[in-house]
Chain A
Amino acid sequence: MMTSTATRATRPPATAKPRRNLARIIAIETKFEFLKLFRLPIYSVAVLAFPLMFYLVFGSLYGGFEAQGMSTAKYMVATFGAAGVLSAAMFAFGVGVASERGQGWMRLKRVSPMPPLAYFASKIGMSLLFGVLVVVIVTLAGVITQGVRFEFLEWLRLLGTLLLGVFPFAALGLLIGFLFGPNSAPMVLNLVYMPMAFASGLWMPITILPQSIQNIAQYLPTYHYAQLALGAIGAQPLASPATHYLVLAGFTVVFLSLAVWAYWRDEGKTYG
């Protein structure tokens, strides 16, 4: 029973197969992260189907108007694309972190030699994948139902700008995921996401919203995010892109710092 470790003949020496490789770990982690959420209807349906549904409804209602110098049908491809990408990132991080923390799954990951970077990188990677999917879906909806036209480079610019939004909203999701438990986090995320998306002109063009809401929008990261996406497809700017970038970067830093604080605050919660 208590024989020496020498009996473990099946075990190769530690240096025999240096298979550990950060890029490979992140790639595999991202794949499983994607599968995990894709198979979860509450996530995949909410992130992929809702922007499509909203686009179809709002597009048919308001598609024929103009906003910031372009057809609202095209305008809303950018804004519902933004709504999709930001919910992909916010919910992947928010719900993911809250439930994995609540289950104790995160402790298991922290005990394992998983590079901490892999945990976050895989969620970012997954959000980017979902982001691409949702932008493609909303674009197709615009092209097919509203006859919206994009030049290819213009569309790539839109996609690239929209995907940048993964970072600030992943940080916001992370913060909520560390602050709230697995049961309350989805509700909190919705309470933050929905009013913010509406007030920033993601559902209806900002220019047709009441002035009071437009004033509030200036203080919301989603507004600046949407304006950057609209700028990418040639909408008349309401402020300089540099302002939008700066504000978004500022929000990202604030969200991340708060998330780190919330993470440390969480450390001593479970003992016994």
Chain B
Amino acid sequence: MTNHVLERRGSDAAPPPTTKDASRPSAAPTAQAATQAATQAAAQPTTQAATPVVAELSGVTKRFGDVTALDDVDLQVRSGEVLAILGPNGSGKTTAVSLLLGLMRPTTGTATLFGSHPTDMAAKVRVGAVLQISGVPATLTVREHLASFSVYYPNPLPVDEVIAMTSLTEVANRQYGKLSGGQKQRLHFAIAMIGNPDLLFLDEPTTGLDVESRRSFWLQVRQFLAGGRTVVLTTHYLEEADALADRIVLLDHGRVLAEGTPASIKARTAGRRIRAVTRLDDATLKALPGVVRLERIGAAAELLSTAAEDTVRSLLIRDENLSDLEVTGVGLEDAFLSYTRNNHTNGASA
């Protein structure tokens, strides 16, 4: 859980989200930004009604024996957006993608892709996918793999163009088995791109990649997006969803917990994280204005507050010896934790 995803906290200095288009780089919402984002989130249904839906799950439940992987899920992918399906392992992300791609059928409910059944050829030729695979046949070269996929599509991109785009030119004639991990992943992406897709599925595309490879992969995805295409991304890296997505669907235990822009998801959790070394006891701290959560980390107390200014003011008044005061924005990971925590608490008490 405490992976490097957390490292970007504190560097959240990007401008507050103004329009949906400009909101991709993540930002710690200021109070204003949070309000703005919330307003925006509220306004979303009207602005998005005009955007065509390219893929959809409606009322979908998927069971594998006793396991319910998805539980009455509604999910729409709108043309031109980057939708991140975010959730921990086993939350149903891959099942959702598999249903949209026609790899499985829903137990109940329907999955549609470009208005058709996901297995229709008319829909399939418009889709590319980076799936969680451990490899492709080792004895074919980069170029041969792309050539073999390119014949399936009515309007493929030229093989050399895709090779150049994914920086595989130097190894174009090398067999897959002799590629490095990063090169292999780039070939998987190249295979997804060869058909010149309108809709790209990325199922945990950077799992197992180092930070460097991950960032360069994001760069490639952004280039792809410059063509006005649609992307569905599943990830358990909050940083990834934050960096790429216009809209996030939080999935946990097969249910949609929340949905919105990265900013609005953040705005719906308490706004600020306050950390300080204080002699105040837990009860006093919890009673401070705005505090919704308290955690002890070593000598420091960490508070999650919806009214940071009031909390800090009270803190300082009650404890003159308070030291190491730190106020930071709340990242998506906090949002996610608080959503899942609430969900589990409710589940346990119910």
Residues of A within 8 A of B (CB): 1-8, 11-12, 14, 16-20, 24-25, 28-29, 32, 35-37, 39-40, 99-100, 102-105, 107-108, 110-115, 267-268, 270-272
Min Cβ gap B148→A in Å is: 5
Please give, as numbers and ranges, the residues of chain B lying within 8 Å of A104 by CB-CB distance: 131-135
Known: A35-B144, A100-B137, A108-B133. A2 touches B152 (CB 8 A): no
Contact with A along B127-144 (1 / 0, CB 8 A): 101011111111110001
Instruction: Jot down 17 A-B pairs with beta carbons below 8 A, ordered by A.
Output: A1-B24, A5-B80, A20-B153, A32-B147, A40-B139, A103-B135, A104-B134, A107-B133, A108-B131, A111-B124, A112-B129, A112-B195, A113-B195, A114-B152, A268-B104, A271-B95, A272-B69
Residue of B67, B139, B151, B191 near A108 (CB, 8 A) is B191
In the complex, residue of chain B having the shortest beta-carbon distance to the beta carbon of A40: B139
Contact with A along B58-79 (1 / 0, CB 8 A): 0000101101010000000001
Min Cβ gap A202→B in Å is: 28
Please give, as numbers and ranges, the residues of chain B lying within 8 Å of A16 by CB-CB distance: 155
Min Cβ gap B85→A in Å is: 12
Min Cβ gap A267→B in Å is: 6
Query: A113 CA to B152 CA in the complex, in Å?
Result: 6
Please give, as numbers and ranges, the residues of chain B lying within 8 Å of A40 by CB-CB distance: 138-139
In the complex, residue of chain B having the shortest beta-carbon distance to the beta carbon of A16: B155
Q: Residue B218 at the A interface, CB < 8 A?
A: no
Task: Give the B interface residue count (CB, 8 A).
Answer: 59
Known: A1-B24, A271-B64, A271-B69. A113 touches B121 (CB 8 A): yes
Query: A102 CA to B64 CA in the complex, in Å?
Result: 19
Known: A11-B196, A14-B154, A16-B155. A112 touches B228 (CB 8 A): no
Q: Does B140 contact A32, Cβ atoms closer than 8 Å?
A: yes
Q: Which 4 A-B pairs have CB atoms at the shortest separation, nearest pair first?
A: A104-B133, A113-B124, A39-B139, A272-B94
Contact with A along B91-107 (1 / 0, CB 8 A): 11111001001111000
Query: A103 CA to B92 CA in the complex, in Å?
Result: 20
Min Cβ gap A72→B in Å is: 37
Query: A8 CA to B224 CA in the complex, in Å?
Result: 11
Q: Does B121 contact A1, Cβ atoms closer than 8 Å?
A: no
Please give, as numbers and ranges, the residues of chain B lying within 8 Å of A12 by CB-CB distance: 155
Please give, as numbers and ranges, the residues of chain A lying within 8 Å of B65 by CB-CB distance: 268
Please give, as numbers and ranges, the residues of chain A lying within 8 Å of B89 by CB-CB distance: 272
Query: A115 CA to B135 CA in the complex, in Å?
Result: 21
Q: Residue B347 at the A interface, CB < 8 A?
A: no
Min Cβ gap B320→A in Å is: 49
Please give, as numbers and ranges, the residues of chain B lying within 8 Å of A114 by CB-CB distance: 149, 152
Residue of B94, B98, B155 near A14 (CB, 8 A) is B155
Q: Does B155 contact A4, Cβ atoms closer than 8 Å?
A: no
Q: Does B155 contact A272, Cβ atoms closer than 8 Å?
A: no
Query: A18 CA to B62 CA in the complex, in Å?
Result: 37
Known: A20-B152, A28-B147, A108-B131. A2 touches B81 (CB 8 A): yes
Min Cβ gap B71→A in Å is: 13
Beyond A1-B24, A20-B153, A113-B195, list 17 extra A-B contacts (CB 8 Å).
A2-B81, A5-B80, A12-B155, A25-B152, A28-B147, A29-B148, A29-B151, A32-B148, A40-B138, A103-B134, A103-B136, A104-B135, A111-B129, A112-B195, A113-B152, A272-B90, A272-B95
Query: A28 CA to B191 CA in the complex, in Å?
Result: 16
Q: Residue B302 at the A interface, CB < 8 A?
A: no
Query: A16 CA to B156 CA in the complex, in Å?
Result: 12
Min Cβ gap B338→A in Å is: 23
Query: A108 CA to B201 CA in the complex, in Å?
Result: 11
Q: Residue B43 at the A interface, CB < 8 A?
A: no
Query: A5 CA to B230 CA in the complex, in Å?
Result: 10
Q: Does A28 contact B135, Cβ atoms closer than 8 Å?
A: no
Please give, as numbers and ranges, the residues of chain A lying within 8 Å of B102 by CB-CB distance: 110-111
Known: A40-B139, A113-B121, A271-B64. A2 touches B153 (CB 8 A): no
Please give, as numbers and ranges, the residues of chain B lying within 8 Å of A267 by CB-CB distance: 104
Query: A101 CA to B44 CA in the complex, in Å?
Result: 41
Query: A268 CA to B138 CA in the complex, in Å?
Result: 26
Please give, as numbers and ranges, the residues of chain B lying within 8 Å of A107 by CB-CB distance: 103, 131, 133
Please give, as numbers and ranges, the residues of chain A lying within 8 Å of B94 by CB-CB distance: 270-272
Known: A39-B175, A104-B133. A1 touches B225 (CB 8 A): yes
Please give, as numbers and ranges, the residues of chain A lying within 8 Å of B133 by CB-CB distance: 103-105, 107-108
Please give, as numbers and ranges, the residues of chain B lying within 8 Å of A111 by CB-CB distance: 101-103, 124, 127, 129, 131, 201
Min Cβ gap B264→A in Å is: 17
Q: Does B21 contact A1, Cβ atoms closer than 8 Å?
A: yes
Min Cβ gap B96→A in Å is: 10
Q: Does B140 contact A35, Cβ atoms closer than 8 Å?
A: yes
Q: Does B81 contact A7, Cβ atoms closer than 8 Å?
A: no
Q: Does A5 contact B79, Cβ atoms closer than 8 Å?
A: yes
Q: Residue B6 at the A interface, CB < 8 A?
A: no
Please give, as numbers and ranges, the residues of chain B lying within 8 Å of A24 by CB-CB distance: 151
Query: A25 CA to B153 CA in the complex, in Å?
Result: 10
